[in-house]
Structure 1
C-alpha cells in the first residue's frame, strides 16, 4: 500500500527526513515512532500529498500521493486538523459527505460515536482542540477509506473518545483498511499493531 525509496525532505539546510525506505502492506496497522523532531509528521504530510519530497520517491497503491485516485482512498488527520473555521461542525461534515458522495447522516453518526453531537451547531473556531479532533476524525472516516494516515489522533481526546477511536480503528482494520499513525501514548492501539517503524533523529527509517 505504502512504499518510499530514499525519501528525503529538506527545509533549507535542515534535513527533516533522510533517505527513508518505508513499506507498509495493505491491511497493516503500523505505528511510526521516534523522538520529537525526527520527521514523523513530515513523512505523513508527504504521504498525504501536502509536501513534495526533495529527493527520492513515495507511492501509495503504486501511484503518487497527490493523485485524485489516491485522494479518494485516503483519510488524513493532523494533530490539529485544518478545518473550515467559519463553518459549524454539521456544515463541515455535510461538506465532507457531499465531497465523497455519502449520506451526511454517516458523518454525523461518527461524530455521535465520539459523544460530540451536541457541538454540531457550533462554529469550528469556537471548539476545543479535542472537539476539533473529533470533527476531523469524523470527516476523515466518512468515506471508509482504504488508507488512514493519523498524526497523534489520540491527542486532546478524553478517555471515552480514545476508546471509541481505538474501536473505530479496529473496525477499519477488520475491513482491510491500512493504518499508519503516530502516537506518543500508543497503549490505545497496542493490541491492533502489526509492527512499529522507528525513525531516528535524522529522520531515517
Structure 2
C-alpha cells in the first residue's frame, strides 16, 4: 500500500523543505498573458468563463447589493482548476489530491460563514435548522440532523475533491505500471485506454472545481 500511494507523496526537497507544494503556484504563470496589449485567445476564452461564472454566482447569492462577493468564489474556482489540470502533467505534484490543501480551502470559508451568520443573522440561522412544514414531534430530530449536516460540510467539500483527484490519478498510474510486461497488441489497447481516461480526468478536473465553487457559494447564500 505504501508503494501504491507513493506517487502522491512529497519527495523533492531542499534543506528538508518540501518543494512539491510550490506547484500550487504554477497556475499564476498563466495570468500575465491577461495583461498583454493585444489579448490572446486564451485570455478571451478565460474572460468568457469568468464572466459566465460571475453572473451565475450572482444569481446563486441572490443579493445584487453586495458587490464583489463573487470574486472569492471565482478565484477559488481558478485556483482549484489550475491545480487539477497541472496534476495531469508528468512529474507535477497534484496538491488538490491532499486533504491538507482542500481542508485549508473549505474549513476557513465555512468557519467564516458560520461566525458571520450566527453573529449577524442569528434568527435566520435558527430557522434553517427546522425546514418549513416539519411536524412539531419531528422538530428535535430535524435540528440534530441539520446541525450534523452543517458541521460535516467542510469535510465533505474537502474529501469529495481529494477522492476524485486520487481515484483517477491512481487508476492512470496502476494501468501505466503494467505497460512493460504487456505484448504489443495489449500496449496499443492500454494507450487508447489511458488517453480516454486522461480525457475523463480533464472533465473531472473542471467539474470538481466547479462543484467546489458552487457549493461554497450556496453555503454563503444561506447566511446572508
Quick check: which one's helix share is greater?
A: 2
Does TM-score exceed 0.5, indicating one fold? no
TM-score (norm 1): 0.30
TM-score (norm 2): 0.28
Quick check: which one's strand share is greater?
A: 1
